[in-house]
Homo-oligomer: A and B are copies of this chain.
Amino acid sequence: MYKNKFIAAIILLFISGTAFSQNEDSVMIKKISDEILQNGTAYNNLRSLCKTIGQRLSGSPGMYKAEDWGVKVLTASGADKSYKQQCMVPHWVRGKKEVFNAAFNTKMKPFSILSLGNAAGTGSKGVTASVIEIKNFDELNKRKDEVKGKIVFYNYRYNKKLLGGGYGDAVRYRSSGASNAAKYGALAVIVRSVTAANDNNPHTGALRYNDSFPKIPAVAIGPNDADRLSNFLAKDKFRLPFNLFTHSQMLPDTIGHNIIGEIKGSEFPDEIITIGGHLDSWDPGEGAHDDGAGVVQSIEVLRVFKALGYTPKRTIRIVLFANEENGLRGGNKYMEEAKAKNEKHIMAMESDGGGETPKGFSCGMTEEQYAKVKSWKNLFSMFDADRFSFTKGGGGGADIGPLQAAFKTAQFGLNPAGNRYFDYHHAATDVFENVHERELHMGAVVMAAMVYLVDKYGL
């Protein structure tokens, strides 16, 4: 009995010790939340990024403007120092507006299309050929003898039933469809946009050519026009030809930059915590959800620490990565520099899932690290953002992936609810107006809360 009492007392002491520090943390985290929800600048920063600069594809004038914007905003938000880290980036240009319409009927309404990123163009001669509709890669392989000399139209539908969203399932037609069709002699591909939206906006995004096959032109088509084209083809006994004109091309690599803002750690300045999103965006919209949201949320983490007078123990580095969309040159460069300087990277966090209400984090780390992170879970319940998922040594985002590969840096990826994200992703509708202030700021709150905990307790 005495022994049990003793153990009970020890346990009680332990629990109340934990309770005390958890209470202290919850007070600090509520302060973070109050400051961001009341005075947060992320939303206004997003407005300025989207409305004064807009699209900022690697190598475009928008990219350079956004880089200067980033240095300015990081400094204004309280960074001890803000600087540019140079890296070479691919320089793909869309050229003038794409056209796809019937070669046989000039009165047919042109279809709404966009060249896929990295795609070669048809040039001014264009491609004139009949179109073959293909539902999926299985059908492509079965009908490979029919493909030669034609334009392949992948009409693979986004699967709305998939609870994680149908993007991962459908995106392979965008990324590999061109080379898979070129293998069988296709002249070009038209890909149904990877989206659940019911509108007619084409959604661009990167393709990857397989160097073994000809690099044929490739475009995304708006969902409504994919249906219109499919309906036409179903009735077209003569396999009438279509004209496709696209003017995109890959120019030589050019100079770009990661934009970095730092607060130096007071106790362990050599231990670096990286928080970021990517500054580049596709060109049809304003890159608001993808990834203006992640950029301004990351900056807000730095701002809120400064505003609350909180000096981190470790060095906090906000990185606005270059060229996530079509090359990942920024993320790779950041890792290479870290390696060259023999830096110690204990944690990296990325927000690149859009500015919707946050649910929690994807945690890619060791089991021991995750056990620690999990012990903080209840601190995120007040925000309904305590859904933590774990992958041993897994990733948290494309840009911070190289840090994991090089240093086994613990990874955190912010996970937003994501029901709306792929409506806007890489399309003309990815604009400031489709991001909501409170949702965006809630994401910044939980990011800052997690950074605060890792900074305080280490990982």
Whether B357 contacts A419 by the Cβ 8 Å rule is yes
A343 within 8 A of B: no
The smallest beta-carbon distance between A379 and chain B, in angstroms, is: 13
Instruction: Pick from A19-27, A237-245, A437-445 the stretch touching chain B.
Output: A437-445
The answer to whether A163 and B38 touch across the interface, beta carbons within 8 angstroms, is no
- Cβ distance A40 to chain B, nearest Cβ, rounded Å: 9
Structural contact, B38 and A160, CB atoms closer than 8 A: yes
Cβ 8 A contact of A163, one of B163, B382, B436, B437: B382
Cβ of A420 under 8 Å from chain B: yes
Is A33 in the interface zone, CB < 8 Å from B?
yes
A383 at the interface (CB under 8 A from B): yes
The answer to whether B357 touches A437 (Cβ under 8 A) is: no
A436 to B160, CA, bound (A): 14
Shortest A286–chain B CB gap in Å is 19
Give the complex CA separation of A10 and B67 in angstroms. Answer: 65
Residues in B neighbouring A198, C-beta threshold 8 A:
437
Known: A387-B384, A437-B198, A438-B196. A357 touches B417 (CB 8 A): yes
Measured CA separation A417–B356 after assembly (Å): 10
A125 within 8 A of B: no
The contact of A420 among B37, B161, B382, B436, by CB within 8 Å, is: B436
User: Smallest CB–CB gap between A308 and chain B, Å?
Assistant: 14
List the B side residues contacting A419 at CB < 8 Å: 357, 436, 438-439, 442
CB within 8 A of A37: which of B160, B387, B423? B160
Beta-carbon nearest neighbor of A436 in chain B: B420
Is A215 positioned at the interface, with any CB of B under 8 Å from its CB? no
A417 to B436, CA, bound (A): 13
A34 within 8 A of B: yes
> Which residues of chain B have C-beta atoms less than 8 A from A33's C-beta?
161, 163
Interface assignment of A359: CB less than 8 Å from any CB of chain B = yes
Q: How many residues of A contact B (CB 8 A)?
A: 24
Q: Indicate which residue in B163, B196, B384 contacts A383 across the interface (CB closer than 8 Å).
A: B163
Q: Is the CB of A160 within 8 A of B438?
A: yes
Select from chain B the residue with minimum beta-carbon distance to A417: B357
Closest to A161 in B: B34
Distance of A46 Cα from B438 Cα, bound (Å): 25
Closest to A163 in B: B382
Can you name the residue of chain B whose Cβ is closest to the Cβ of A39? B160
B-chain residues with CB within 8 Å of residue A420 when the two chains form the complex? 436, 438-439
Q: How far is the CA of A420 from the CA of B442 in the complex (A)?
A: 12
What B residues does A37 contact at CB under 8 A?
A: 160-161
Interface residues of A in 126-176 (CB under 8 A from B): 160-161, 163
* A 224-241 to B, binary, CB cutoff 8 A, 1 in contact else 0: 000000000000000000
Cα distance, A384 to B387, chains bound together (Å): 8
For A34, A423, A437, A438, the residue with the greatest tally of chain B CB atoms inside 10 Å of its CB is: A438
A residues 1-58 near B (Cβ < 8 Å) are 33-34, 37-38
Cα distance A34–B166 in the bound complex, in angstroms: 13
Complex contacts, A357 vs chain B, CB 8 Å: 357, 417, 419
Closest to A357 in B: B417
Beyond A357-B417, A384-B417, A419-B357, whether A161 also contacts B38 by CB under 8 A is yes
Nearest to A439 among chain B residues (CB) is: B419
A382 to chain B, nearest CB (A): 6
CB-CB under 8 A from A439, the residues of chain B are 419-420
Residues of B with C-beta under 8 A to A160:
37-38, 438
Could you give 12 example pairs across A and B, Cβ below 8 Å? Answer: A33-B161, A33-B163, A37-B161, A38-B160, A163-B382, A196-B437, A196-B438, A384-B387, A417-B417, A419-B436, A419-B439, A420-B439
Interface residues of A (CB under 8 A from B): 33-34, 37-38, 160-161, 163, 196, 198, 357, 359, 382-384, 387, 417, 419-420, 423, 436-439, 442
Given contacts A38-B161, A196-B437, A420-B439, 9 further A-B contacts (CB under 8 A): A37-B160, A357-B357, A357-B417, A357-B419, A384-B387, A417-B417, A419-B438, A419-B442, A420-B436
